[in-house]
Amino acid sequence: MSNSLTKVLVLNGPNLGRLGKRQPEIYGHTTHDELAALCVGWGHTLGFAVEVRQTNHEGDMVDWLNAAADEQIPVVLNAAAWTHYSYAIYDACAQLTAPLVEVHISEPLKRPEEFRHTSVITPHATAVVAGKGIDGYREALEVIADSLGETGGGA
């Protein structure tokens, strides 16, 4: 059964395409391409076919989340700044039925800007992984595996 890998989407929002260049003191030196390769590898170990996408356009993110809702695909979501104010993303997350894990590279709750202390994703999330750097994505995929009861999955 070589085709039995469960599809999981890792969706990254605005400015995360600039990982590696963007405020490395906060977000580290790993680029988005490197993050994507890591997620695919971590996912494979867990029995997942992981697809990683990044967009700076809110409508694209809403479309991806709507498709994930229709196809019941688990999602790891770093909605970046949209996390803090986008009711369109809130409404899209509300429609998901498969596990949704909210991830942040930094820990928004510990950052000085007040606006980062609110998340429209958390009410819909199975779990939140924040402040763990890039490794938080691995943890998020593990949470999805646990939720689906697929640890050590694959064929």
Say whether residue 138 binds ligand DQA (CB under 6 A).
Answer: no
> Is 85 annotated as catalytic?
no
Q: Nearest distance from residue 47's CB to ligand DQA, in Å?
A: 26
- Tokens at residue 61, please? 């993110």
Please, are residues 152 and 124 in contact by the beta-carbon 8 Å criterion? Answer: no
Q: Which helix (H) or strand (E) holds 101?
A: strand 100-104
Stretch that binds ligand DQA, among 35-43, 55-63, 90-98, 100-108 (CB under 6 A): 100-108
Q: Nearest distance from residue 90's CB to ligand DQA, in Å?
A: 15
- Tokens at residue 130, please? 């924040």
Longest dimension (CA), the chain: 50
Kindly write down the DSSP assignment for every residue of 39-83, as one continuous string.
Answer: HHHHHHHHTEEEEEEE-S-HHHHHHHHHHHHHHT--EEEE-GGGG
Say whether residue 86 binds ligand DQA (CB under 6 A).
Answer: no
Say whether residue 100 binds ligand DQA (CB under 6 A).
Answer: no
> Is 44 annotated as catalytic?
no
Say whether residue 56 binds ligand DQA (CB under 6 A).
Answer: no
Q: Which residue has the tokens 């697809």?
A: 51
Is 26 annotated in a binding site? The answer is no
Annotated binding-site ranges = 78, 84, 91, 105-106, 116
**Which spans of this chain sit near ligand DQA (rule: CB under 6 A)?**
15, 78, 80-81, 83, 104-106, 108, 116
